[in-house]
Structure formats: C-alpha cells, structure tokens
Amino acid sequence: MKSDCIFCKIANKEIKSEIVYEDKDMLAFKDIDPKAPVHFLFIPKKHITTLNDILPEDGALLGNMFLKMKETALKHGISSDGYRIVANCNKNGGQAVLHLHFHLLGGRSLAWPPG
C-alpha cells in the first residue's frame, strides 16, 4: 500500500469503484472514463509502480492476471469477436497512474495503430 497511490486506495476500498472481479491478489474494476463498451482495469493488490518494476517472483501473479482477464473477456461476451489488453509504461507509454494495470478493452473494433 502506497499512501498517495489512487489504485492502492481503490484496492483498499478507500475509493469506490465498480468491481467486476476480486481475489486475494488482484482487483478488476470498470474504468471511470471508458474508451470502449467493455473497459476494465486489472491491478495487482500489491503496489507495483510500472512494468519496469516487475520481479521474477511476480510471474505467478501476472500469469494469474492474464488467466483472469481471459475468463472475464469470456464472461462479458467479447472473447470470440476479440479484445485488446494494454499496459502503458511511464511517460512515453502514456501511463497516467503509477500503479501497474492492464486495460481490458472490447465490444467494438479497436483500430491500431492510432492516427
């Protein structure tokens, strides 16, 4: 728990969010400013600042997060049409919140690369 981190506060239920999945290690909630009909954020409950900060011992956690993202995509009906999982890193990656998170986006066509 990093006391000035907004996603730690969400994980700690100090800030309300619309939770779509939770277990002891991770939380998934609706993005407050959705970019697609389905836009969820998956975060580890422990504070990891960026992708640069993941450690070998985080491998199982990250693997479980991907399994849960896949299951959540299926549950919300976006598996067969497809979806995108995004993790932004630092300034050039466009990371606004410095607590590692994965965007799960679907429910519309997601053109790439951006114009």
Q: Which is nearer to ligand 5GP, 61 or 85 (CB)?
A: 85
Cβ neighbours of residue 17 closer than 8 Å, sequence gap 6 or more: 10, 27, 29, 30, 32
Ramachandran region, residue 13 (left: φ > 0; alpha: ψ -120 to 50; beta: rest): left
Q: Which is nearer to ligand 5GP, 73 or 104 (CB)?
A: 104
- 57 three-class SS: helix
- 41 three-class SS: strand
Q: Which is nearer to ligand 5GP, 10 or 73 (CB)?
A: 10
Q: Pick from Zn ion, ligand 5GP, none: which does 64 bind, CB < 5 to 8 A by kind?
A: none
Q: Pick from Zn ion, ligand 5GP, none: which does 72 bind, CB < 5 to 8 A by kind?
A: none
Active site residue 103: no
Residue positions annotated with a catalytic role: 101
